Structure 1
Amino acid sequence: MGGPSHQPEISATDLQQLSASLVKRQRLDAPSWDHRSALLTGRMWVSELEPGMQLRLADIQDRFGLTSQAVLPAGIKIALVIAGNAHVRYGDFEASLGPQATHTGLLVTLPSATNFERRGQAGDDERTLTLSLSPAWAARHGYQAVLTASPDAPQAAYWSPSAGLLALASRLFTLQPTDIGHPAYRLQLVGFAMALAGEALAVACPSPNMLTSSHKPDRRLARLMSMVDSGQARGVTQAELAHQLGMSLSNLQRRFHHQHGEALGSFLRRHHLSLARDAMAREAMSIETAAALAGYTSATNFATAFKREFGSRPSDHQKASAFTPCQKIVINKALDASL
């Protein structure tokens, strides 16, 4: 393997940039790989659906037999392999997933940072959907007990997807280049991710009586997320957002961190920079236009913030073809008051 391919290529740099928000200390290696050729062909993209919830879709072929090692942060991982095979290890737990294996679905709870390994075979195809849920997301939705039940080591549970969920999963891979970023496709991603979490978590926490949420609904934060979704928060300072929400800045920052497990400033910066990155990948857009889209008046400041956030320059993400094999989409679903 490793010869010329007419499929979109995914390089080591692509993989590292794509995984930056999901893993730490990633290492990539493969037999006979010259460290210059693309490791995979196909498509891979990550969607941040709401704070603490990220969905990765991979429709790939392994060119060299890639072994990927990394450290995963604490949280919940839900994997579904609908085609091909995936061989993974979380800590000391190993699993093979896929239609030809015994299981297609796996849920792993990670109470702390955990070593991860994925082993591929040259020539193997794979269609995988992986949902990453942070501890803050789990707590917000009443699933903190899943992470605290066994605080010393990862816990794994196999699960079987419903026919309806499989149909939804397959449909997500039929997108065209212009679909990425379209509101209708975003809604499909959000709906699928919630259904995926619901089916898989039902295995780990089958009794509703086990679930208690440490977070009460926060209507002002729900309004904030709606403003972020609609673009009303772009170029607006945190102090101005707090004023529009009828809160003090310190109260807004404290409540956001308590609800979502991260600083408001970090979330807003990543969100707007990611919107600009995705727009550059889809459209022929100048750096100045991308900077304005992200809420920056200075292209230089935008480039500096972009490099700090993603480890690459804005120009590295400017549209070079009709389809970019690796894309990262930030999609923020307004938090309903019922959550």
Structure 2
Amino acid sequence: MAITTDVSRGCERPQVSCAEISRQMHHAGTDHTFIRPDLEPSDNAIEGRFLLCRLKSGIVLHATEIRDLHEMTTQLVAGPDLTFFVVLDGLVDFSIDNRQFLAADRRNALRNADCSALMLTEHAVMTRRAHKGDRTRKVTVSVDGDWLAEMADGSNGQRLRQFTTSHLSHATWRASPRLLALAEQILNPPDHCTVLRDMYIESRSIEMIAEAVSTLGGEDAPAITTGLATRDARKARAARDYIEANLDKVLSLPEIAREIGVSPTSLQRRFKAAYGTTVVDFLRARKLDKARDALERDGLSIGEAAFLAGYSNPANFTTAFRRAFGILPKAIKR
């Protein structure tokens, strides 16, 4: 595929560095970071074809045909937007604000020829886990509020409004031959001049959105996993932000609920719906993440890391750590 920097602002190099990926990711969101491993900006993260750009129509297009070079975890603050994606080959492993959508368990990962839609009504943290040697071919198109307002008009409006006003709404269906053909054409555009190739890619992206919207709002629409109403999502996010800002403190469910102005029961319900886990389990997992980072980067002792994670007994910390990460703390301690 011949992608030019004029059109895509992307890459057509055999290998793509961490710095180049981060530079391109501003089209999809903010605060893109490589969490693990500790790679230098000049280190190559993937090899293959990588295209990420904002088209003249306002659509954000992300088309990749890549092989991951490391076991990696990356994060990005995304949304608000509606995203359609087609996975032509390989596995996709990512979560939104710790709620897993496509490939929480790689045995049940999204496989060939599926199309999905995901709605974010507010900013959210997207985490991608890449597995060394995995190959992925996918095309993703995202649209913002202006597009959503226009798409919700007409006979399909009610179904689309239901989907697009609920944070973390999600649907998956088998991609049609036409949708697969459009994705393939975006990945492999003809060797036109720059302007014509731009037009070709953009027209196919718009057609992808039109077909996906028609399916999502049609009479035979796929089953929808409904997310949270915006107000509930904000309360859940406020609780999450409060936890993140106070990881070094001893927190309790009643305290967190009181801080954001809801009852503990209401908080548990909203938090579980938003993130797929309880407040206590999320807090425990984040403290373990912080302890792991301290072991890797700061050289803390296992006892110090255990205290940081809220464990008075290092043996209990070691058990919890191995359950969470599959390795012992001493295996990563500097």
- CA separation in 2, counterparts of 1:112 and 1:80? 23
1:189 aligns with 2:195: no
Q: Is the 8 A contact 2:119 2:163 kept in 1?
A: no
Q: Deviations over 1:105-124 (max 9, x none)?
A: 21001111112111110011
Superposition deviation, residue 68 in structure 1: 1.7
Q: Deviations over 1:112-142 (max 9, x none)?
A: 1112111110011111111010111211333
Q: Compared with structure 1, are the counterparts of its residues 49 and 34 closer, same or farther at alpha carbon in structure 2 (3 Å cutoff)? A: closer
- CA separation in 2, counterparts of 1:80 and 1:103? 7
- CA separation in 2, counterparts of 1:65 and 1:12? 13
Q: Deviations over 1:60-104 (max 9, x none)?
A: 110012222111121101111112111121232421399973872
Q: Compared with structure 1, are the counterparts of its residues 102 and 57 closer, same or farther at alpha carbon in structure 2 (3 Å cutoff)? A: closer
- CA separation in 1, counterparts of 2:161 and 2:50? 28
2:64 match: 58
1:284 match: none
Q: Is the 8 A contact 1:109 1:147 kept in 2?
A: no
Superposition deviation, residue 150 in structure 1: 6.6
1:71 match: 77
Of 197, 212, 219 in structure 2, the residue corresponding to residue 200 of structure 1 is 212
- What are the equivalent positions in structure 2 for 1:79-228 lying under 5 Å apart? 79-91=85-97, 92-96=99-103, 101=111, 104-142=114-152, 146=160, 149=163, 151=165, 153-175=167-189, 179=192, 181-183=194-196, 185-206=197-218
Give the letter for the 2:20 counterpart: D
Q: Is the 8 A contact 1:71 1:115 kept in 2?
A: yes
Give 3-state SS (helix, strand or coil) of 1:95's partner: coil
Give 3-state SS (helix, strand or coil) of 2:132's partner: coil
Give 3-state SS (helix, strand or coil) of 1:198's partner: helix
1:259 match: none
Q: Is the 8 A contact 2:18 2:39 kept in 1?
A: no
Q: Deviations over 1:188-214 (max 9, x none)?
A: 322321222123223432259xxxxxx
Q: Is the 8 A contact 1:52 1:133 kept in 2?
A: yes
Larger CA Rg, structure 1 vs 2: 2
Q: Compared with structure 1, are the counterparts of its residues 22 and 122 closer, same or farther at alpha carbon in structure 2 (3 Å cutoff)? A: same
- CA separation in 2, counterparts of 1:199 and 1:99? 24
Unpaired runs of at least 5, structure 2: 1-11, 221-334
What CA RMSD, in Å, does the superposition of the two structures yield over aligned residues?
Answer: 3.1
Superposition deviation, residue 166 in structure 1: 1.2
Superposition deviation, residue 7 in structure 1: 5.9
Superposition deviation, residue 147 in structure 1: 5.8
- CA separation in 1, counterparts of 2:187 and 2:112? 23
Q: Compared with structure 1, are the counterparts of its residues 174 and 52 closer, same or farther at alpha carbon in structure 2 (3 Å cutoff)? A: closer
Q: Compared with structure 1, are the counterparts of its residues 81 and 52 closer, same or farther at alpha carbon in structure 2 (3 Å cutoff)? A: same
1:324 match: none
- CA separation in 2, counterparts of 1:150 and 1:137? 11
Q: Is the 8 A contact 1:135 1:147 kept in 2?
A: no
- What are the equivalent positions in structure 2 for 1:269-280 lying under 5 Å apart? none
Q: Is the 8 A contact 2:90 2:111 kept in 1?
A: no
Superposition deviation, residue 148 in structure 1: 6.1
Percent identity, aligned pairs only? 17
Q: Is the 8 A contact 2:87 2:112 kept in 1?
A: no
Q: Compared with structure 1, are the counterparts of its residues 84 and 102 closer, same or farther at alpha carbon in structure 2 (3 Å cutoff)? A: closer
Number of equivalenced pairs: 201
Q: TM-score of the superposition, structure 2-length normalised?
A: 0.53
Give 3-state SS (helix, strand or coil) of 1:20's partner: helix
Q: Deviations over 1:217-275 (max 9, x none)?
A: xxxxxxxxxxxxxxxxxxxxxxxxxxxxxxxxxxxxxxxxxxxxxxxxxxxxxxxxxxx
Q: Deviations over 1:32-59 (max 9, x none)?
A: 7455411111121134333431211111
Give the letter for the 1:108 counterpart: L
Greater relative contact order structure (CA < 8 Å, 6+ sep): 1
Q: Compared with structure 1, are the counterparts of its residues 49 and 7 closer, same or farther at alpha carbon in structure 2 (3 Å cutoff)? A: closer
Of 51, 55, 65 in structure 2, the residue corresponding to residue 45 of structure 1 is 51
